[in-house]
Structures are given as C-alpha cells and as structure tokens.
Structure 1
Amino acid sequence: MTLPRPVTTPRPTAITRPHRVDLFIALSGLAVGVLLWFFGLYTSADRVFEQRWAALVPLAVMSACEAGRRTMPRAALIVGTLAIVANQFTNGNLVTVLMFTDIVYAAVVYGPPAQARRVPYTTGLITVAVTIGLLVWWQNALALLVGVITGMVSFLPAMTGAIVRNHREAAEAARLRAEQTALLAEMDRVQAVAAERARMARELHDMVANHLSAIAIHSTAALSLDEPATTRQALTVIRENSVAGLAEMRRLIGLLRDSGGDTEPAAAPTLAGLDALVGQARANARPSGLVLVLDDGGESDAGLPAPVELAAYRIVQESLTNALKHAAPGEVRVLLGRGPDALTVEVTSPYGERPGPTAPGSGAGLVGMRERVALLDGVFEAGPVTDHEGHRRWRVRAELPVAASDEERA
C-alpha cells in the first residue's frame, strides 16, 4: 500500500489561540451532541456505564479536542483517541464519532510531518488488526462490518488528510516555482534593458562625439582668431560636422522608433567605410597639426563577422575623436592587421601637451571601447607607450577574435 507523501512544510511549535472556525465546529458539535443525548438517540445499548450522563463526558472531551484541531493537532489526536475508546463503554453518541474523524483528518493536514506520515499507516494497521481479531473471536460476518466501520472512522479520514496535504504541497511548490520563474524573468528583463541601454549609449557616443568634438574645437578657433579666412574655414568644418551629426542622430532615432519593421534599417558601419571616416577626420584635424595615416594590412578572402567589423569601425572612430581632442601635433596612424584568428586594430597618436583649443572629455569613449571588445571576448589596451624612436605616443590596441559561424559571416 503506497500512501501519498504529505507536505513537509514546518508547523508552529508554540500553542496559540484556537482558530475561530475550530471553535465554531467544537461548539456546534457539542450542541448537536447534547441535542441527540436529550432525545435519547444513542449509538448502542447495554454498555458498562449505563448512566445517561456518561455519554456526555466523551462528547465534551471530543469537543475540546476539536477546538485545538489546528493549533494542537498531536495533543488533540491523543486525547481524542482516548475519548473515542471511552465512548465505546457508554451508550455512545454519533457526534462524538464524527468529531473524531475530523480530528484524525486534521492531525494529518495540520500536524508535524512525521505525524502526518505515521497516522495513515497506524490507522490502517489498527483497522486490519481489529478486523482479524473480531473474525477470530466472533467467527461471523459481523466482524467484517465492524472492521469497515473502524476503517471509515480512522483510516479513511487519515487518507483523505494525506491526499489534501499532498495537494497543498504541490500547490505551494507550483507557487514557489512561479515566483522563481517570475523573478528570473524580471532579472533577465532588467539585464536585457541594461545591456540595451549600454549599447545605445556606446552607439550614440561613437556616432556623435566625433562631430561634436570637431565643432567645439573649430568654434573655439573661430572665436579666438580674428582672421576671416580661418574663420570661414572653421565655420565650413562646423557646418559639415553638424550636418553629419544630425544625420547620424536621425538614423539612430529612426531605428529606435521603428517597431513595426515598415522601413529598412540603416546598414551598420563596416571596415569598407574606414577610408571615408579617416578622410573626414583628416579634414577636421588639419587645423590642429595632425596628419592621419591609414595602414590597412590587406584584404582577407574570408568575410569578417558583422559584430567584429562594427566594433573595429567604432574603435577607430572613437580613437580619432580622442586624438582630435587631446593629441599633440604630429602623425596619427591607424593600423589594421588581419589574421586567421583575430583582427588587430591599433591607433597611435602623439602624446603630450596640446597647443590651441581642445574639447573636454568624459572618459566614456574608453569605457565604450573596452565594453565592445569584452563583448567579443577580445583584448583591449589603451595608454601611453614609447616607440622605437623614443617618442611618447598614446596607443589604443584591440584584438578582436574573428572565429564565427556561417550565419554570422553571411
């Protein structure tokens, strides 16, 4: 015989006040039992204690046990068992028997886990033992009827309580799983939102910072130099960068607003656009005494994954922007090295005090570059170095793994 495993939820150990529902059941049972006793409705006759009042004692004790069925299930079961046995020596009361079945049920549902496991087995063994004992003693079919009644009074309520407790355990486990699933989903949502916000911040910074830095530097130059030709040249550069920056902003806003997919998304920058990027930066950097050189290590037959091309493009773009802001006059070199396993991007610029107007920096550019490389499991370095001629230069170097699936290369 396999019984349902009861719930193992902890139960309070301290005795508390009886539940109001239990008090109502106890008082109602006592009232109905007294009513049956008043009209002389007994369950049996010819008992050891034939006095009418004797049947009221087990009834009163069982009512008290009903009041503690939820707060003291173990004590209620023990005392209730003694009361049902005492009830057999009196004329008996039907309400006493019915309240005992409820106490057995409550002992399994509300009792400690060990008690909840033992009660069904114990009542089952008692039912079998009573049936066999009466068959041996009486040797007639009446013993089977008494055994069935014993099982209905003890084993059946215990089994019902075990089933109810098992269902409550399953419901509680399902609720906990639902809460955990909701919590994990919320954590995933928060992480996804944070990652998207970081990606948007990197894109916005990389797209606009270059143009705004050129605008800031050339506007400062135009204000500080009282030369019409220089002012006109500075205003021309300012206009070109403001128009380009506005176009980039419109493209980003369009991507953010496009939720239905009715418009074609703008293509992400690739390494094929590096010539145009360096050419634009060269025009912006000429008044600052910077000379930009692009040294491409040669085309590779195999295409690069789109995330790698985008990261490399943005790293070069941000490095040129930082050189325009902070580099001393001299050569700014952009070097691309393509190997079978990684794409190397290196940008070096003169390191030292910059004469003339500069644009303030926030440090977000280096953070964005480092994040881009980390997302691709690459290696990023940025800091001052000394070249073979002994000159101090600022170097940004990134190694981007190019191993990708066919879908990523498509």
Structure 2
Amino acid sequence: MLTSIRPDRDAVALAVSGLLGGLLLWLLGLHTQGGRPFAAPWVSLVPMTVMAAMELLRRSAPRTALTVGTVMLVADQFTRGNLVTILMFSDIMYAAVLYGTPAAARRIPVATLLITVASTVGFLSWFRRPEALLIGVVTGLVSFMPAITGVVVRNHRVAAEAARLAARQTARLAEMDRKQAVVAERARMARELHDMVANHLSAVAIHSTAALSIDDPDTSRNALKVIRENSVEGLSEMRRLIGLLREGGEDDAPAAAPTLASLDVLVEQTNVNGTSSGLVCTLEDAGKAVSAALPTPVELAAYRIVQESLTNALKHAAPGPVVVRLAHGDGVLTIEVTSVFGSRPGPTAPGSGAGLVGMRERVALLGGAFDAGAEPGDDGDGDGTKIWRVRAQLPATEGTMRE
C-alpha cells in the first residue's frame, strides 16, 4: 500500500522546483498582493510549502491534493501571496483531471466553469468597475483552463490506448487467422496424401503378403505385377502432389485433379487389386453423375470419397461385391459405396481410421451430409450377412456450396 502512494520522479521534481522558486520570490520580496490581514512576509511561505507538498500527491492521490491545494489557495489570499503557489495549484488542478477518476474528470471542469462565472459576476456586481472582470479572467486561468487542458490530454490518452488495444487485437486476430489457415492447409494436404497413396500402398501390402505366404510361382508373379503397377501409379500421384505444393521450379504445370470421368479406371484398378481377396467391384451411375457438369471441389471430393471407400474395402471387406452408386438430382450428388462386412481369409492391410475422418471432413467443408457404418444386408435371404455402407450427399451447384 505504501508503494502505491510513492511519488514519481516528475512529482518530486515539480515539488522541489516549486518550493525553491517560491523561496526565491520570497527572498526577492516579490509578492502578488498587499494589504492583507496576515501581512507578515513569512506567513505566505505556509500555503506555498503545503502546496509544494501536495505536488508529491498529484498522481497517487489527486483528489486529496486538489482538496488541500484549494484550501491553501484560499489561505494564500489572506497573505501577501506568492506567484508560485498559484502556479502549483494550476498544475494540481490539471493533474486531478488527468489522473483522477472518470467521474472527477467530468465534474471538475464543470465546477471550475461555474466558479469562474460566479466569481466574475459576483466581483463585477460588488466593485461595479470593468477592472473586476480581470478577477474572473484570473480565476478561469488558474482553475478552468488547467481542468480543460487535463480533459483534452486525458481524452487523447484514452484514444491512444484504445488504438493500441485495437491494434493488438487486430494482430492477435490476424495471427489466429494465419494459424487456422495453416492448420486447414495441413489438414487438406493430409487428406490428399492419404487418399492418393493409401489405395496403392494397401494393394502393395496385400499382394506382397500374398507373395510371401503362398509358395506358387504364378501367384508371386501376379502379385509382383500388381505391386509394380501400384508402385508406379503411387509414385505418379506423389509427383502430382509435389507439383501442386511447389511454389516455383519447372515450367511444366502439375497434372489436373482427378474427375468422376476416371471412376471406371479406378473401379477397374480395384478389381485387379482385389482379385486375390474375392472382391468384385462395379460402378452404377443412376443419374449420369459422371457426365454431369459439377463444381470442381465437389467433383474432387466425390472422387476421393469413392477412392477411399474402395481402399477401405480392399483392406477390410469380406469376399463379395463392392458396388459404387452415383446419383445426381435436385442439386445434390449422392455417392454410395457398399461392400460385405465381415472378416475374410488371406492377407489384409492395417487401417488407422484416418480415411473415415478425411471423408467426413471433405463433406463437412462442402456443407453436405456423410454417414458410414455396418447395417443388415438387403438381399432378403436371412443369413445375417451385413454390409458396410458409405453414403455422402454433396451440394452439386455453386450457390449451395459452403464457402
């Protein structure tokens, strides 16, 4: 608590310089008035000394300093007076508005204005001489003008602080936007990398396991052929991704993003890769969605969803049909991929769950709907067979896409 009322350097400097200046004027015999009740020269030193002490409290306790300073200014009028006492009171008035409470900053200028007007009217009525106006002018210079100056300086400081806070807030928001943009870009890159490479690596893992576990030259030869094809295609996809990420370099533009028109190639490739697992993949285009004009983000998302669904089927589906269905109507592109749910003999590839997360993120970014899970089969034979269904609905027009 004692630390909070400790005077700062400026207050000490003002108090010391005021005290020394007042003593100098007193030694030189320079006073502001004469013919007062307390005419002894030394009496004027009392208000001046107390006023100098109040300068020490100008910032830490401005209300106390102003109250005591006002009393000392009135007391000074009954002595021979000292000019420094009046000057120090003006500084205390200024500090009371600048460093005081907001309520004090509003009330003090009004009060000093009323005092200035009242003193001018009062002395003019009393003396009935134009020179009485000078008393009002001096009163305004000593009280009202320092108060108004304090208001102006305080408002400038408040505005400057508000500007600094706004600048810091803007900088924080910009940094948050930058971090969010980086996170979003990393997520997009992760989805692209996973969707492009996981299909090929899954096929490589399954067929290499088959080649190692089955001692048959034809099986090994076929497995090595599939491994080589998927390795070459995976390397091509990686090069395309690197080309998209590189900011400069070669003049050749990166390959175009895959479209729904190449789904038949993707399905055929899955048939080749899933031969050893007993998978038969087919494509059904109910609404001619493959040939429809779709926004590029929707078409890329749809392709990646089908690609990841086929990759998951290659990793986990039991032997049986894998059906890809597309339907386009009423401004919505519907993608559905079904496969037999259950365990299967032979080699499998491990999964991490990132594929489902990536598909859900792609659909959410476009403002669509996504669902995936096991459900009873629809063949009606009652054998308890379940299917794994991935279903996504994407807005197929620019106006309905989420920005």
CA contact (8 A) 2:366 2:401 kept: no
Structure 1: tracts of 5 or more residues without a match:
1-11
TM-score (norm 2): 0.94
Contact 1:15 1:72 in 2 (8 A): no
State the alpha-carbon separation in 2 of the partners of residues 45 and 76 from structure 1: 27
Post-superposition Cα deviations, 1:382-401, rounded to whole Å, max 9, x if no partner, equal: 11122222431111111112
Shift, 1:258, TM fit: 2.2
Question: Residues 388, 188 of structure 1: CA spacing in aligned structure 2 closer, same or farther, 3 A cutoff?
Answer: same
Superimposed CA distance per residue, residues 78-103 of structure 1 (whole angstroms, 9 cap, x where no aligned partner): 11011111111111111101100000
Task: Note the C-alpha offset of 1:403.
Answer: 3.1
What is the CA–CA distance in structure 2 between the aligned matches of 1:15 and 1:407, rounded to whole Å?
A: 59
1:264 match: secondary structure = coil
- Of stretches 65-74 and 335-344 in structure 1, the one that deviates more from structure 2 is 335-344
State the 1:14 CA deviation.
9.3
SS in 1 for 2:300: helix
Superposition map of 1:84-103 within 5 A: 84-103=73-92
Indicate how the Cα distance of structure 1 residues 263 and 110 shifts in structure 2: closer, same or farther if over 3 A, else same: farther
Alignment of 1:201-350 (within 5 A): 201-258=190-247, 264-299=253-288, 303-350=293-340
Tell me whether 1:400 sits opposite 2:400 in the alignment: no
Using the size of structure 1 for normalisation, the TM-score is 0.93
Match of 1:382 in 2: 372
Q: Relative to 1, partners in 2 of residues 1:348 and 1:406: Cα closer, same or farther, differing over 3 Å?
A: closer
Gaps of 5+ in 2: none
Range with bigger deviation, 396-405 or 369-378 = 396-405
Aligned Cα root-mean-square deviation (Å) = 2.0
Provide the rounded CA distance (Å) in 1 between the counterparts of 2:190 and 2:14.
Answer: 66
Partner of 2:45: 56
Q: Is the 8 A contact 1:210 1:321 kept in 2?
A: yes
Q: 1:156 Cα shift? A: 0.5
User: Alpha-carbon deviation of 1:341?
Assistant: 2.4
Secondary structure (helix, strand or coil) at the match of 1:246 reads: helix
1:133 maps to 122
Once the two structures are TM-superposed, the CA of residue 302 in structure 1 deviates from its matched residue by: 5.3
Q: Percent identity?
A: 65
Equivalent position to 1:191, from 168, 180, 188: 180
| Residue of structure 2 in register with 1:3 after alignment | none
Whether the 8 Å contact between 2:54 and 2:68 is mirrored in structure 1 is: yes
Shift of 1:264: 3.0
Q: Distance in 1 between matches of 2:233 and 2:292?
A: 32
CA distance in 2, matches of 1:16, 1:82: 21
Cα gap change, 1:406 to 1:329, in 2 (>3 Å) = closer
Q: Does structure 1 retain, via aligned residues, the 8 Å contact 2:286–2:327? A: yes
Instruction: Kindly provide the CA deviation profile for residues 165-189 of structure 1, in whole angstroms up to 9, marking residues without a partner as x.
Output: 0001101111111111111111111
Secondary structure of the structure 1 residue equivalent to 2:257:
coil
Deviates more, 1:222-231 or 1:55-64: 222-231
Q: Which has the higher contact order (CA 8 A, sep 6+)?
A: 1
Provide closer, same or farther for how the CA distance between residues 259 and 117 of structure 1 changes in structure 2, counting only shifts above 3 A: farther
> Partner amino acid for 1:381?
D
Distance (whole Å) between structure 1 residues aligned to residue 374 and residue 97 of structure 2: 75
| 1:113 maps to 2:102 | yes
Cα shift at 1:53: 0.7
Q: Does structure 1 conserve the Cα–Cα contact (< 8 Å) formed by 2:288 and 2:327?
A: no
Aligned partner (choices 6, 27, 47) of residue 36 of structure 2: 47
State the shift of 1:291 in Å.
Answer: 0.8
Choose 297-306 or 37-46, whichever is displaced more: 297-306
Match of 1:31 in 2: 20
SS in 1 for 2:73: helix
Q: How many residues get paired?
A: 397
State whether structure 2 residue 156 is matched by structure 1 residue 167: yes
Q: Deviations over 1:318-370 (max 9, x none)?
A: 01101111111111111111112211111111111111011100000011111
- Opposite residue 38 of structure 2, the aligned amino acid is F
The residue type paired with residue 386 of structure 2 is R
